[in-house]
Amino acid sequence: MTELAVETSGLVKVFGENRAVDGLDLRVPAGTVYGVLGPNGAGKTTAVRMLATLLRPDGGEARVFGRDVVKDADEVRRRVSLTGQYASVDEDLTGMENLILLARLQGYKKPAARDRGAQLLEAFGLTDAADRQVKNYSGGMRRRIDIAASILNTPDLLFLDEPTTGLDPRSRNQVWDIVRIVVAQGTTVLLTTQYLDEADRLASRIAVIDHGRLIAEGTPGQLKASIGAGSVHVRLRDAAQREQAQRVLSRELNAPVHLEADPVALTARIAEAGDDQAAAERAARALAELAADGITVDDFALGQPSLDEVFLALTDRPATIEENAA
């Protein structure tokens, strides 16, 4: 059995009327990237804050490398590091000053602290910005100094709370690369995100949480398989034929067919789980039936369901609902 970096059972945190975390059970194997996926307000940050000893649970238990986060908080603090949603460095100080400050607080003597700071700035491409106040850093640079600060003493478990929220694509890719390297060096990473493709790309296991509860858990592949073999995406030449196409597809695929915002597009999820071969055969038959009915198809694709679709299926609402509302 592999060692567990995090183990929680029935974890609860209540803020007034709001049960932010409501009986959460997590098991995070050591040495992997573990994704905690959920929309805003699902309880991801609250759960991470309890695991990082910043919040006291109202119920249940949480252990980090076997140590209780309440009773053994100091021991947990020695082994974990947190990069929060907002910059967890002092914005009034320069990058170098921040690293020296944190190095000193972790027992480095003055010269050693400066050496360690210089080494980290170099590794994170921030040497040129060493003497600038962090408030003048770009978003990507801020994230990097933040992560540098988190690995000052290489932690056994690194919490990254929505590490790429608000970053441009290039900076996001840099963060992803850093995460992969950090894990390859033996640190467990627990990553919260509301971006499904981020969890898909980085995490070896994913927990989907909503309203403070675990609603699904597994490898990205298992999660996708659990809701059906895949989806059929169809684009027609003529929007007028869409209703007819919907009837044909729904009959052949034996599944509800969704009309997209684009007036010529339809999507259907193939109902049964597991059997990819059967799914492909049925999709092929559906395509033939469309042609037989005189419906002109411009594009026909059979794909694995995206994690977006997984989320939709699990929660009956889109994962990005908050973003649409904003």
Partner 1 sequence: MSTTATETTTSYVPAPETLAAVLTRGERPPRPSAWSASVTFGWRAMLKIKHVPEQLFDVTAFPIMMTLLFTYLFGGALAGSTTNYLQYVLPGLMAQSIIMITMYTGVAVNTDIEKGVFDRFRTLPIWRPAPMVGYLLGDMLRYTIASLVMLTVGLILGFRPSGGVVGVVLGIAVLIGYSFAFSWIWTMFGLLLRSEKSVMGVSMMVLFPLTFLSNIFVNPKTMPTWLQYFVNANPVSHLVSAIRSLMAGKPDTGALTLVLVAALVLIAVFGTLTMRLYNRK
Size of the site for partner 1 (CB under 8 A): 63
Tokens linked to 163: 């590490």
Strands 33-37, 59-64: pairing kind = unpaired
- Taking the complex as a whole, how short is the minimal distance between the CB of residue 108 and partner 1, in angstroms? 5
Cα–Cα distance for residue pair 272/184, rounded to 1 Å: 36
93 binds partner 1 (CB under 8 A): yes
Beta carbon of residue 104, minimum distance to partner 1 (angstroms, whole number): 4
- Which CB sits closer to partner 1, 47 or 149? 149
Environment class of 177 (CB within 10 Å of its CB; exposed 0-12, middle 13-18, buried 19+): exposed
Asked if 187 touches partner 1 (CB under 8 A), the answer is yes
Residue closer to partner 1 (CB basis): 181 or 288: 181
Residue 74 in contact with partner 1, rule: CB under 8 A: yes
Which of residues 82, 203, 232, 236 is near partner 1 by CB under 8 A? 82
Contact between 87 and partner 1 by CB under 8 A: the answer reads: yes
List 86, 222, 254, 278, residue binding partner 1 (CB under 8 A): 86
Q: How far is the CB of 294 from partner 1 (least distance, A)?
A: 53
Among 108, 214, 227, 229, contact with partner 1 (rule: CB under 8 A):
108
Q: Which of 106, 204, 219, 254 binds partner 1 (CB under 8 A)?
A: 106
Tokens for 321? Answer: 């609902």
What is the C-alpha R_g of the chain? Answer: 24
Q: How far apart are CA 134 and CA 93, in angstroms?
A: 6
Is 46 a binding residue for partner 1 by CB under 8 A? The answer is no
Rounded to an integer, what is the distance from CA 248 to the centroid of its chain? 37
CB closer to partner 1, 185 vs 324: 185
* Residue 104 CB-density burial (10 A; 0-12 exposed, 13-18 middle, 19+ buried): middle
SS (H, E, C) 66-104: CEECCCCHHHHHHHEEEECCCCCCCCCCEHHHHHHHHHH
Interface with partner 1 in residues 113-152 (CB under 8 A): 119-120, 122-126, 128-129, 132-133, 136-138, 140-141, 144, 149, 151
- Identity of the residue, 82 or 232, whose beta carbon is nearer to partner 1 in the bound complex: 82
Does 15 bind partner 1 (CB under 8 A)? Our answer is: no
What's the rounded Cα separation, in Å, for the pair 75 and 64? 9
- When binding is defined by CB under 8 A, the residue of 3, 105, 222, 251 that contacts partner 1 is 105
Minimum CB–partner distance for residue 178 and partner 1 (Å): 5
Residue 171 or 231 with smaller CB distance to partner 1:
171
Q: How far is the CB of 6 from partner 1 (least distance, A)?
A: 15
Does the footprint of partner 1 cover residue 165 (CB under 8 A)? no
Q: CA-CA distances (angstroms) from residue 9 to 31, 44, 57, 163, 205? A: 21, 15, 11, 26, 18
Region of 156 please: left (phi>0), alpha (psi -120 to 50) or beta. alpha
Helices in the chain by DSSP H: which ranges?
44-51, 73-79, 95-105, 110-123, 139-150, 169-184, 196-202, 220-226, 242-253, 276-292, 307-315, 321-325
> CA-to-CA distance for 304 and 47, rounded, in angstroms?
30
Report the greatest alpha carbon distance in the chain: 79
Sites of contact with partner 1 (CB under 8 A): 49, 52-54, 56, 74, 77-78, 80-82, 84-93, 97, 101-102, 104-109, 112, 119-120, 122-126, 128-129, 132-133, 136-138, 140-141, 144, 149, 151, 153-154, 170-171, 174, 177-178, 181-182, 184-187
